[in-house]
Amino acid sequence: MRKYLYILLSVLVPMSAMAYTLKRVSVHDPSIVWEPVSQTYYIFGSHRAAAKTTDLMNWTAFTAPWATATSNNATNSAALAEAVKWSKRGSTNYSVDGNMWAPDVIWNKAMNKWCMYLSVNGDNWYSSIVLLTADNIEGPYLYQATVVMSGFHTGTTYKDTDLEQVIGTQASLPGRYAIGNGWGRRYPNCIDPCVFYDEEGKLWMSYGSWSGGIWMLELDENTGLRDYDVTYTLTGSGDGVTIDPYFGKKVAGGFYVSGEASYIEYIGGYYYLFVTYGGLAAGGVANDYNNGGYQMRVFRSENPDGPYKDSQSHDAVFTSYLLNFGPNENDGNRGVNIFGAYTSWGNQAKGNFGERSQGHNSIIAAEDGRTYLVYHTRFQNRGEEHQVRVHQVFQSKNGWLVVAPFEYTGEEVKSADMATTQQIATDRIPGKYMLLIHNYKLDHTKKNTASPTEIEMKEDGSITGGAIGTWKIEEGTSYITLKINNTYYHGVMVEQTLEPTDTKAPAFTAIAATTGTTVWGYQTEASAAGIANITIDDDSATGAIYDLRGHRVKNTHSKGIYIRNGKKIIVR
């Protein structure tokens, strides 16, 4: 049987019908957790915001219910009286409303409870992290106790904390804590908890924001509170203390460098630590480098409590103050820049909807075999409006995480598939691409973003156009190596959906381990040598034929658009 095949030079025909839907929510500081009975993902965030979904694309918002032991209470101020009383020391007009930040929820196997670790923020470091529990993931959550407190830097304030329960009775406040406003260089602000089990079943909590850095405590699996049987020997001196008998072990930051929202997940042999640098605002304020620059940086370790290092072997812990974001960053570009502010990308992240100030993320190695990054983002010209985004995450061959360049829209590929399957056939790769390099040192006071340039990846393995280099796919896998402007990037090549349409395109995401920089790319037009009306017997056709989803087909007896040898063809 003969078919007429017309080689197309135009871009892929857009499809009006979408194979998926996206329903947005606004949850600041989203922390993701899986509830297996209902097969539902939940995110919990600051200011009692929460949402749920079964597909990570369509979210339903709800208000997370705090409660006292006897009655429901919108602010739970009665149940949180201990924490509220502590935070009131920091300001005369303190209100807990607006200061319940960044909860993290986890199922405690020993307690048979859902445990919520909630930040109760206060001025002058008078903050604490409290534990609430529930039988149902949607609550009501009941206050149990305070886990850790900060800010006891003067007088007898320590008497209202559990410091003496940890280190013994004290005649007066130990001198290492009696440092007044110097607290912010040495010790943590006790907010932003991340609670996780390690591979041995131990329960840990990382916490802290800016100030003296990110710290780590072992928790008691049976109570969900700190493990009072674990002791920490004072290590380091002055502002350089790295282990403290009360606060545990410092794993990142210090000396008031920026950094908050620690999140740790075990993936493929490593514990990955995410920390968000910079200020959370959308930016655009002249000469105010704290106003904007929110950006996720990544470190990894073989141990849950570190040491955590980036791809350039920089330690996540600072030994002096360095500016670690913005155009004057001078910390050696510490932390893998997994991505940052960008615009003119695909069909959606463009114009006023270019993404910026992405951060305070969570990440989950899910039950479905995929890994998902969940974060909130602001936009280029929409003020402080923010929404949640979900991207799939893969592990490069050299063990660093790379993030899919477009939102998750139901793609079936799994993380483990990268090593065992070639998602994009070699002859589909050549073509024109948009290339986006996520560089460090964006000027957020001017709302700078990364913008793409056009390149061509040719059949001979060369790259030309807006960047010069080479590409090579590892046959039988999805691992790709790119040399771009004399820098090598290692990552994966997968099919992506160019939201909000259903158009599919080959895409890559890769990291340069030597610099910590990430690149994204997606194909805009496949290669085509010319136009020809040709008649071909299916049985004599040479070159594998793929449908638009990248699935190989045995013949072209069905009408439609296909790709063969990197060329788009239509069968009528």
Known catalytic membership, residue 460: no
CA distance 558 to 261: 51
Q: For residues 257 and 210, is the Cβ–Cβ distance under 8 A?
A: yes
Strand ranges across the sheet with 371-379: 355-365, 371-379, 387-395, 401-403
User: Using CA of residue 339, residue 343, residue 349, residue 354, what is the dihedral sign?
Assistant: positive
One-letter amino acid of 499: E
CA distance 479 to 477: 6
Nearest CA to 201 out of 114, 266, 133 is that of 266
One-letter amino acid of 535: T
User: Using CA of residue 258, residue 259, residue 260, residue 261, what is the dihedral sign?
Assistant: positive
Q: For residues 398 and 296, is the Cβ–Cβ distance under 8 A?
A: no
Bridge-based pairing of strands 66-67 and 141-149 is parallel
Choose, from 104, 192, 218, 260, the residue flagged as catalytic.
Answer: 260
Residue 547 CB: number of other CB atoms within 10 A?
A: 15
Residue 261 CB: number of other CB atoms within 10 A?
A: 26
Q: For residues 570 and 10, is the Cβ–Cβ distance under 8 A?
A: no
Choose, from 29, 407, 417, 499, the residue flagged as catalytic.
Answer: 29
Known catalytic membership, residue 29: yes
Task: Give the tokens for residue 252.
Answer: 């990142």
Distances (CA, A) of 147 to 83, 131, 205, 225, 499: 10, 7, 10, 5, 43
Please provide residue 12's backbone torsions phi and psi, each rounded to the nearest 5 degrees: -55, 135
The residue with tokens 């208000």 is 63
Q: For residues 358 and 295, is the Cβ–Cβ distance under 8 A?
A: yes
Q: For residues 374 and 388, is the Cβ–Cβ distance under 8 A?
A: yes
Q: For residues 324 and 341, is the Cβ–Cβ distance under 8 A?
A: no
Q: Round the CA-based radius of gyration of the chain to a whole number and report it.
A: 26
CA distance 257 to 29: 20
CA distance 3 to 538: 8
Residues with catalytic annotation?
A: 29, 260
